[in-house]
Chain A
Amino acid sequence: MMSDRVLGLVGLALAAFYIWAATIIPESFAQDAIGPSTFPMLIAAILALASLYFVLKPDPDPRWPSLNRLAEIGFALLVMFLYAQVLPVLGFVISTVLATAYLTWRLGARPVTALLNGVGTSVGLFILFELIFGLSLADGRFGF
């Protein structure tokens, strides 16, 4: 019950923010019948109504994972964000070895298997996409 209420409150806040953001859309000399802010406000109204429904008639709570599983997901999220950041610096091959190995390890493989999958995935995808299909993957400082 609580979870849906929280979702509803977040939705209401989002709708309010959205309506505010719609009111500050600058005026334009090219104006049509209803302007650029009417439709977004309509949508925000629907968002607000749906959110209000969650607050008033919440579904039973989903089964949230235990704290250490949540941490697991949080760390994976962090690793993916880091991957996006270091990609232009370290280049595709090194970054991908690290990210793949981490994910493989956390999904239940032994560290050695994880490292092997990291190297295999990285090199394999590099050969397939950069060398065969000619996509430009991130080059980084070292050129690969």
Chain B
Amino acid sequence: MDTFLSLYDGFAVALTWQNLLLALAGCFLGTMMGALPGLGPANGVAILIPLAFTMKLDATAALILLTSVYYGAMYGGRISSILLNIPGDEPAMMTCLDGYPMAKAGRAGEALALSGIASFVGAFFATWGLVFLAPQLVKIALLFKPAEYFVLYTLAFATLGGIAATNQAKSAFAAALGIGIAMIGVDTQTGVQRFTFGEVHLYDGIDFLIAIVGLFALSEVFVFLEHRDPRGAEAPRETVTIGRLTAPWSMLRRCTPTMLRSTGLGFLSGVLPGAGASLGSFLAYSVEKQVVDPTGRSFGKGDPRGVAAPEAGNNAASGGALVPMLALGVPGSGTTAVLLAVLLTLNIQPGPMLFQENPDVVWGLIAALFIANFMLLALNIPMVGLFTRVLLIPTHILMPIVAMVAFIGIYSITGSTFELSMMVGFGILGWILRKFEVPLVPIILGILLGNEMEVNLRRAMTISNGEWSTLFDSWLALALWAIAIFGFVAPIFMGKRVKRRIREAEEERIGD
């Protein structure tokens, strides 16, 4: 019952005119960002954080705006998957498989409407899952002492590469790089300078926003410069006719079991460490194919269930991913890492204490997610035509604007040329590391969590008088170590196989 009371209070927080307006703006911007290839949820939210911060929104309002963008981007990714056969963001890849064939058959409108509804079902039930699961996880998290927290952070880094990681050394490299960057600046425990070499700008450490915006948003500009189409980008894109923008009842009824199964699977892979939305949609699609179409007669050729499954799956996963992020303070994916950055910017430390000390923030946020869901459904079905027109904006117009908004954001929080140059540095670093297939998310997470990880280690060591065995002293710690080791080792054996499956699906899409 407590949960419902808290949720009720949350709605009281979220339901003000200002917050509703922000949610609407966030949903709109998010859908646009999700729809545009090259501007996914992570970098979309990233370039908006500094702006939300300097506009002096209060914590709840800023959170509502940015989580609406997050959910919106998850909805929007499907639009270009269906219409252009180009996923708007990574999790929307699977939607191409049946979405684009449907569009080619003149049923683009049906596919858009159906995927919008599937997104809603996935996100809506996942938000309920969040409501019930997060408080339970908080109860466990309250048993954590510094030693367990240190192991938990280790677990987060060990599993971040995910089940589809092909080279765990590169994930470890990235995590160490990020944590190493976090160490720069004043040591909070003793007050001495570390790794600053007398540079005044480094005394406060490197602001994680600079790194995030540089690594995610600016590096994208370099990627586009590298792959610029030499034949000239101004050639008009081929567009498909949309047709009627509704999904018939019979189709919805036929897809209902699919949506429910995919929601469950997606939610689970969102909650579990090392999975996330991309794997959620992949799992949902593959399992659904096994269940309803084992002989491969209609999947991949424009089966509506093949559109509903990955969309319900990836939206459910993005709701599920909020569970560990809010309850433990440990994000499991790139986009939730960026949401963690949002909270830290607002001076909110997620974790069990957040639920006890700032219940208004948590439940206000959850209420906002529900509201955002309904708004997105309303925005996405009748107004999808508007978003499809956004797709016609050529990248050479769009990417420079993205870069400039990135500059404005960082300039507005720092006002310094030094920090802008540093952001550009992170941008080119991000491009280089992407070439080496070094994942960027562990770097971000390292910068975000590095200090907290060290503080917990040092607290644990101080409590134990310097005995390292304290890290293995409780059953909880041992269980966390076991998961961490399994999560790090398993992909070494399974990663290539999972990756190959995903590649095969990708090739199928391109082969069409």
Interface, chain A (partner B; CB < 8 A) = 3-4, 7, 11, 18, 21-22, 25-28, 30-37, 39-40, 43-44, 46-47, 49-51, 53-54, 57, 59, 62, 64-65, 69, 72-73, 76-77, 80-81, 83-85, 87-88, 92, 96, 99-100, 103-104, 106-110, 113-114, 117-118, 121-122, 125, 129, 133-138
Contacts and interface: CB of A to CB of B under 8 A. Distances in A.
Contacts of B462: 32-33
A62 B195 contact: no
A110 to B, nearest CB: 7
B58 interface: no
B420 to A, nearest CB: 4
23 contacts: A25-B193, A30-B191, A32-B190, A34-B457, A34-B466, A36-B187, A40-B194, A43-B183, A54-B169, A62-B436, A73-B428, A77-B424, A83-B420, A85-B417, A87-B420, A103-B221, A104-B396, A107-B233, A107-B396, A109-B396, A117-B400, A121-B400, A138-B411
B192 interface: yes
B395 interface: yes
Given A32-B458, A36-B187, A96 B233 contact: no
A100 B233 contact: no
Nearest to B178: A43
Contacts of A133: 51, 55
Please classify the interface of chain B as helix (H, G, I), strand (E, B), loop, or mixed, using the class held by over half of its residues.
helix
Interface stretch (B5-13, B224-232, B299-307): B224-232
In the A-B complex, the 3 residue pairs with the closest CB atoms: A108-B233, A107-B396, A84-B420
B225 to A, nearest CB: 5
Interface stretch (B41-49, B369-377, B401-409, B475-483): B401-409
Please classify the interface of chain A as helix (H, G, I), strand (E, B), loop, or mixed, using the class held by over half of its residues.
helix
B169 A53 contact: yes
A76 B225 contact: yes
Contact of B226 (A11, A22, A46, A65): A65
B411 A108 contact: no
Interface size class of B (residues with CB under 8 A): 35 or more
Nearest to A17: B195
A26 B225 CA distance: 44
Nearest to B232: A108
Nearest to B183: A40
B472 interface: no
B80 to A, nearest CB: 18
B404 A121 contact: yes
B250 interface: no
Given A80-B218, A80-B427, A121-B401, A39 B457 contact: yes
B469 interface: no
A81 B424 contact: yes
B173 A84 contact: no
Nearest to A105: B396
A43 B176 contact: yes
A39 B435 contact: no
Given A18-B195, A25-B187, A104-B400, 14 more contacts: A34-B458, A36-B192, A43-B450, A49-B172, A59-B167, A62-B436, A77-B427, A83-B407, A100-B404, A106-B228, A121-B401, A129-B412, A134-B55, A137-B412
Contact of B404 (A35, A43, A99, A110): A99
A113 B233 CA distance: 12
A36 B225 contact: no
B177 interface: yes
B437 A50 contact: no
Interface of B: 51, 54-55, 167, 169-170, 172-173, 175-177, 179-180, 183, 187, 189-195, 197, 218, 221-222, 224-226, 228-229, 232-234, 394-397, 399-401, 403-405, 407-408, 411-412, 415, 417, 420-421, 424, 427-428, 431, 435-438, 450, 453-454, 457-458, 461-462, 464-466
Contacts of A64: 435
A17 to B, nearest CB: 10
B325 to A, nearest CB: 23
A7 B197 CA distance: 25
Contacts of B177: 47
B403 A125 contact: no
A143 B453 CA distance: 45
A9 B248 CA distance: 60
Nearest to A25: B194
A22 B179 CA distance: 14
Nearest to B157: A46
A118 B401 CA distance: 9
A109 B421 contact: no
A100 B400 contact: yes
Contact of A32 (B176, B189, B221, B401): B189
Nearest to B457: A39
B224 A107 contact: yes
Nearest to B406: A80
Contact of B222 (A76, A84, A92, A137): A76
Contacts of A53: 169
B221 A104 contact: no
B192 A109 contact: no
Contacts of B408: 92, 125, 129, 135, 137
B503 to A, nearest CB: 14
A21 B54 CA distance: 35
A109 B233 contact: yes
A103 B170 contact: no
A118 B396 CA distance: 11
Contact of B172 (A18, A28, A50, A125): A50
Nearest to A72: B225
Residue of A31, A40, A72 most packed against chain B (CB within 10 A):
A40
Contacts of A122: 404
B442 to A, nearest CB: 11
B461 A73 contact: no
B403 A103 contact: yes
A81 to B, nearest CB: 6
Contacts of B172: 46, 49-50
A49 B168 CA distance: 12
